[in-house]
């Protein structure tokens, strides 16, 4: 086995691993309990596709695929930023816990309150 065959095996194994991971992220994008999980998995899929394109460029000795990967990276960035701007609120509301606060919440409210002077 020479070095070219070793690299071919390495690149093929990396591509197979990326395909499996892309499948796992696709399941996460569909199932994900929250919208943030779905956006993160879409971002991960984009990153793994970029890696796969770069590995293919080395495997096939085609340098134009590097340019394709760079353009795909820019499109992926803009897509994730747009999804985050549309679906993640800028001012998230604090969930109401039914009047029950933990020690951290009680300590925070006590520090935030000013002591009132009694007028006598």
The residue ranges of every structural domain in the chain are 3-89
Report whether 25 contacts 44 (CB < 8 A).
yes
The series of mean pLDDT values per 10 residues for the chain, 120 residues long, is 92 96 94 89 94 95 95 94 86 68 52 58
pTM of the model: 0.71
As a whole number of angstroms, the distance between CA 40 and CA 44 comes to 6
Residue 89 carries which DSSP code?
A: -
């Amino acid at each position: 086995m020479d070095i070219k065959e070793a690299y071919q095996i390495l690149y093929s194994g990396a591509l197979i691993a990326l395909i499996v991971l892309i499948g796992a992220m696709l399941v996460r994008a569909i199932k994900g309990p929250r919208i943030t999980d779905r956006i993160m998995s879409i971002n991960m899929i984009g990153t793994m596709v970029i890696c796969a394109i770069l590995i293919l460029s080395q495997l096939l000795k085609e340098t134009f695929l590097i340019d394709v990967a760079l353009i795909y990276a820019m499109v992926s960035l803009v897509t994730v930023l747009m999804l985050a701007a549309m679906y993640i609120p800028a001012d998230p509301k604090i969930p109401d816990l039914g009047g029950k606060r933990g020690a951290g919440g009680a300590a925070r409210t006590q520090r935030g309150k000013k002591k009132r002077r009694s007028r006598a």
